[in-house]
Chain A
């Protein structure tokens, strides 16, 4: 085993991380709860739950349904609002040495811009995730990532606010006809990286009550059930934009699953739903992926990124 010479580091724009395993926004709260299971410094970064301007109660329950190899959720971005987040949650992460990607969500271009200005002025942030693809907003018309012009406007607004002070990572929805077109649009608007994929919109109907299971009726589908969709989306976008780093996510439960997304073109991997199943999953997956890469003869993680695109020797 030659872990000593294995370079596990990765880069997203100007941000460097000692390893590519991150939490996924919305699946790790704001870090405290997970720190009971492993030191947050062990993973590449904590991606915080998407925060909005004001406190949010989120949606009524039931908010969740288990589905085959996955789950449906409609939390509705419950959270403390940006000011409380920056006063309480972010400093806690910084104190504990966690590299932090702050995820923001807004209902308008102006809200995204204002949120990103506040995050820019806060110390200890590695990168900014711009969640333009939450499926659980009140109005499907507000899913900015489903419309090229809206996606562009949000990222342009954020770019004007933060300039080059923080890498901007646009989080994309797979619920579009052409994800490559959306990716090109946000990169053209100034995104330094892409996070993909957010959940897919789904529904479960309870056959006892004969009504939708979730109070919100629809919810976001996550877990291994959606992994092939993630692999496809990452592969397509990496092929079109090979120099844009992708934070890949979608049903990663094991190091081998993470490897699949890396081969498709992901420069970092977010572990989401797996953490509900196994709160130690991020660190376990980090170790499993390293073993796998070393076993395959890689000396640098970055050499494996997008490897599936290479012609057969």
Chain B
């Protein structure tokens, strides 16, 4: 668990481009002041609608790419999966529209100092923050394998330029429409015999399964969780999940500020949606 404290800023960011990638929209935003400080795993929280919007809660997105300089100053890129009314509204923004963005938020993936053999596992658009992580790992001479899984081809996010960041990329879809028919965990040797660390981002079920594989193999699995958040900045206490701290005490911690990246074996995956017995401050 990283203890890094970001100091986020709030900014009206112009949409530079918005293009469809399979089932998703890939938005590039001019975000000077934010982009310079992004580290892989950080996210942004974006408000929905205008100042009289009936949807008050921010939507959080993992940052895909960020550039600190360029023709638009710094930019950030996010991958938006339109599902509810709020994410659909954000996914429909056109160039020159503005979005109110707070970021960078949350902790970042810890990067080992020495070269490692890393396995990066993404579920759906959860692969997005893994590509910039892969680039940094490769700069440190690490070997990077990536596995991406989704229900169907259009929900696989693995852009051509991202493929250059990794040494190998394997894809699985549940319907077999692209890659191997099956789950993302079918794509690699589950004994993890050639892997030093696993980085993962995706649905809770996938993260739980990977943590179990990591535990059996004695390999750390760094998990970026997706919990629903109202604010993204640590105020509302809605995005909590049960996580064991260094002294072995389970606490309800905010995934927005203490996370979104946790060591998989610290997260009480079976206790999500409950207050596990023995949790600090649990009702007696």
> Which residues does A use to contact B, with CB under 8 Å?
26-29, 32-34, 36-37, 49, 54-64, 66, 68-71, 73, 75, 78-79, 81, 138, 215, 223-224, 253-254, 273-280
Contacts and interface: CB of A to CB of B under 8 A. Distances in A.
A63 B235 contact: no
Contacts of B234: 29, 32-33
A66 B236 contact: no
Nearest to B284: A54
Interface string B254-276: 00010000000000000011110
Interface of B: 7-10, 47, 51, 54-58, 86, 100, 102, 227-228, 230-231, 233-241, 251-252, 257, 272-275, 279-283
A26 B7 CA distance: 21
Nearest to B256: A33
A57 B237 CA distance: 11
A64 B102 contact: no
6 contacts: A55-B280, A62-B228, A73-B238, A224-B56, A276-B236, A279-B10
A203 B240 CA distance: 20
Contacts of B10: 37, 278-280
A34 B10 CA distance: 11
Contacts of B8: 36-37
Closest 7 CB pairs of A and B: A55-B281, A64-B238, A276-B231, A33-B234, A57-B281, A277-B56, A56-B281
A58 B237 contact: yes
A70 B56 contact: yes
Given A55-B280, A61-B227, A61-B272, A33 B233 contact: yes
Nearest to A27: B235
A185 B122 CA distance: 58
- Is chain A's interface secondary structure helix, strand, loop, or mixed overall? loop
Nearest to A81: B281
A194 B10 CA distance: 33
B54 A68 contact: yes
A66 B56 contact: yes
Contacts of B55: 66
Identify the interface centre among B57, B100, B237: most chain A CB within 10 Å of its CB.
Answer: B237
A88 to B, nearest CB: 15
Given A254-B51, A273-B56, A277-B58, 5 more contacts: A36-B9, A57-B252, A58-B240, A68-B54, A274-B56
A292 to B, nearest CB: 15
Nearest to A275: B235
Identify the interface centre among A27, A58, A62, A138: most chain B CB within 10 Å of its CB.
Answer: A58
Nearest to B252: A57
A37 B231 CA distance: 13
Nearest to B250: A57
A73 B47 CA distance: 19
A114 to B, nearest CB: 18
Nearest to A64: B238
B8 to A, nearest CB: 6
A90 to B, nearest CB: 18
Contacts of B239: 61
A60 B239 CA distance: 10
A61 B253 CA distance: 12
A34 B238 contact: no
A276 B86 CA distance: 15
Contacts of B100: 278
B56 A275 contact: no
Contacts of A224: 56
Nearest to A73: B238
A178 B233 CA distance: 37
Contacts of A138: 283
Contacts of A276: 56-58, 230-231, 235-236
Contacts of A64: 57, 228, 230, 236, 238
A26 B238 CA distance: 11
Contacts of B231: 275-276, 279
B12 to A, nearest CB: 11
A152 to B, nearest CB: 27
A81 B273 CA distance: 23
B107 to A, nearest CB: 14
Nearest to B7: A36
Given A36-B8, A71-B56, A63 B238 contact: yes
Contacts of B282: 57
Identify the interface centre among B47, B54, B236, B275: most chain A CB within 10 Å of its CB.
Answer: B236
A78 B56 contact: no
A81 to B, nearest CB: 7
A29 B237 contact: yes
B240 A61 contact: yes
Nearest to A66: B57
Contacts of A275: 231, 235
A280 to B, nearest CB: 6
A59 B275 contact: yes
Given A61-B227, A69-B56, A254-B51, A78 B273 contact: no
